[in-house]
Structure 1
Amino acid sequence: MTPTPVLIGGATGATGSIAAKRFLEKGFRVRALVHNDDERAHRLQALGAEIFVGDVLDFRAVRRAFEGMKRAYFVYPLDAIAEMHHDGQMAETNDVVEKITGRKPQSVAEFVEKHRAAFQ
C-alpha cells in the first residue's frame, strides 16, 4: 500500500527540501508547495515530487495545495517569523493556519515547551 501523500510547505528551503527528499526516499508521494518555479523546484520534481507554486499567505492557493492531502509538513524560517511578527503579519498567517486546520496554531514558545524532549 502506498503511503498517504504529504504536502511539504517551504519545500525548496533548507529544512523543507531535506524533508521532501526524505519523504520521497521513504516512498511517499510528495506535493511540494514552493514560492517560485525555479531550479530548486525542478530538482525536487526530478526526484518525483509534484510541484505546486503558491504563496503561503494566499489562503486560496494554500487551500488548493491541501486538496487531497491528509498529511502536511510545514516549517517556516524563524527569522521570517520574527520579521512577520514585527511587521504585524503574524496574525494574518495564524488566521490562514486556523482556517486550514480548524484550530489555532501554537506559538513557538508553546511548541518548544510541549516538545522540549526533542530539543534536548
Structure 2
Amino acid sequence: MHRLYLGLAFLIMLIGVVHLGATTQLFDELNSRALWFASGGLLLILTGALNLLNRAHGAIIRDLRWMTVATNVVMTIFAAVAGVVGAASGAQLAVIVSILAATTFVSLRPRA
C-alpha cells in the first residue's frame, strides 16, 4: 500500500506537469483563461506533493493527514466537475477521477 501511495502521488504530479505544459500548446497568448488552465496543473502538482508529505509524515502529524484527506476529497470532486464542464472525454474523466479517488482512499489509511 505504501508503494501504491507513492506511485499515485507521483502520477498526480506528472499529470499536473503535463497539464501545465499543455498550456502553451492550447493557448496562443497569455490571458486569464490560459492562466487559469495553468493553475490547474500547479494545483495537481501541489496536491501530489502534499500526498508525498502525508506518506512520509502523516502517521506522526495527524493534522497533515486530515488536511491531505480533505484536499484529496475536494480535488476528486473538483476534477469531476471540471471534466464535465470542460468537456473532457469519458476516458480522460475516468482516469483522472479514478486516480484522485484511489489516492483519497489510500490517504485515509492510518499508515499511509
TM-score, normalised relative to structure 1: 0.30
Q: TM (normalized to structure 2)?
A: 0.31
Greater helix percent: which structure? 2
Which is richer in strand? 1
